[in-house]
A = this chain, B = another copy of it.
């Protein structure tokens, strides 16, 4: 305002170029990124052999196994309630956490120094990393993955160059996917770059809105090209830091216009995947517009977008918004919006997103009850939007964490099936509401019981009898299935 800021765009570009050098600066072969930072920093020597040489293909061995590198509960081909476990769970590896997670936090520098990283953000490195990703997926034995555009390919000097970089890496990903591996969803990263500091679709700058549109357009195209089953919108910067300097109404209108244009473009290119919005209450902003499932549903209804979107519910986001994960899943389900689950968990005493792998069996059982009631999640699935703790720095920790998260949900599925087959919990609920399975109940539910008729009934019946809610019994039955 007072000091002139010339060359800002140039400086930011420079920053990003330099970040190519630095973001994963370490390197198995020290000579590829010498201390003098010469041009070799971007050189790409071919990686030979396996990325995870000590790790076998992960197999199911059952609960009695003591090995950390086997499944104890997840048996992909086993049938539960008439469907294979892999079809209920449709697990996906999140490229960003697994291959771009650095261990950095607001108070600390990166801690992960994976052997295949050469310290650059070059296209060659991007491709090497993509190969590592597919080896990881194959060894883990899952069939799906997810990515943000900027995770998998580096920025170029211009949007055109950036898009070209993306195309090059995507072509390799397509090849590596082969027949077996599917893209659960793609998405555009509209939160990391400083241009998005005020939002993408809700930025106060029209040029950023346009840039965001261009980026989503491209991300939808490559998602379509890779056979993506869904496309996700997470509005990490679509919110505000302070209402004092924000025109919330105008921003929300812009967001609606943006999503309408996305729907139109999806149809234009023939992409049949589901569009998903991922609610999160806050962080990075003070308040995000897609606060929780109900808030997002209100937005979709207000702007006439209801039929075009479903929700991607993340457990840690649900708990940050003051709900149990189970609640937000049920809210999404009841509104006809449950499309996908970001499988993770938070810490009940922590007020930010910790993105931990879920290991709570009771929670997993409740999650799976919602999924079963929803008839499964397809074409959505369970994406592991979860990361290693900053202090977990062994390559094998990547496997241990995913195995643990998968086994927990598999155990949840087995427990939920047990509860359903046993039937006594469902019966307890059915009986609670059985007074509505009457003639007067039917009239009420059909909207035919007016206040005068109800008053007459109330006077006729006298003081109502009210039964125990039997919550402790319900909890006992629930626990007996764990």
Q: Which residues of B contact A361 (CB under 8 A)?
A: 361-362, 479, 482
Q: Which residues of B contact A392 (CB under 8 A)?
A: 468-472
When chains A and B are docked, how far (Å) is the Cα of A229 from the Cα of B403? 47
Task: Report yes or no: A466 in contact with B25, Cβ–Cβ below 8 A.
Answer: no
When chains A and B are docked, how far (Å) is the Cα of A388 from the Cα of B284? 15
Complex interface bits, A34-69 against B, C-beta within 8 A gives 1, otherwise 0? 011111010000000000111100000001001010
When chains A and B are docked, how far (Å) is the Cα of A111 from the Cα of B16? 12
Instruction: Indicate whether A352 sits within 8 Å of B12 (C-beta atoms), given known contacts A198-B466, A388-B472.
Output: no
When chains A and B are docked, how far (Å) is the Cα of A474 from the Cα of B210? 27
What is the size, in residues, of chain A's interface with B at 8 Å between Cβ atoms?
A: 195
Please tell me which one of the listed residues B2, B36, B353 contacts residue A395 in the complex, with CB atoms under 8 A apart.
B2
Instruction: Indicate whether A352 sits within 8 Å of B349 (C-beta atoms), given known contacts A26-B15, A445-B253.
Output: no
Complex interface bits, A451-480 against B, C-beta within 8 A gives 1, otherwise 0? 110110111011111111111111110111
Nearest chain B CB to A23 CB, angstrom units: 9
What is the chain B residue whose CB lies nearest that of A27? B11
When chains A and B are docked, how far (Å) is the Cα of A450 from the Cα of B482? 51
Q: A213-B458, A404-B475 are in contact. List 6 more A-B contacts (CB 8 A).
A: A38-B39, A103-B194, A203-B466, A250-B433, A257-B447, A295-B298
When chains A and B are docked, how far (Å) is the Cα of A425 from the Cα of B245? 8
What is the chain B residue whose CB lies nearest that of A269? B451
Q: Which residues of B contact A480 (CB under 8 A)?
A: 63, 66, 72
Q: Which residues of B contact A35 (CB under 8 A)?
A: 13-14, 17
Q: Which residues of B contact A450 (CB under 8 A)?
A: 261, 264-265
Please tell me which one of the listed residues B13, B68, B482 contacts residue A463 in the complex, with CB atoms under 8 A apart.
B13
CB within 8 Å of B: which of A407-429?
407-408, 424-425, 428-429
Complex interface bits, A266-278 against B, C-beta within 8 A gives 1, otherwise 0? 0000000000000
Task: Report yes or no: A467 in contact with B192, Cβ–Cβ below 8 A.
Answer: no
- Of A7, A14, A264, A450, chain B has the most CB atoms within 10 Å of the CB of A14
A449 at the interface (CB under 8 A from B): yes
- 18 residue pairs of the A-B complex, CB under 8 angstroms, read A8-B465, A11-B113, A21-B22, A106-B283, A195-B464, A197-B466, A205-B435, A210-B454, A210-B461, A214-B455, A244-B471, A247-B429, A284-B390, A286-B349, A286-B350, A298-B335, A322-B349, A391-B471
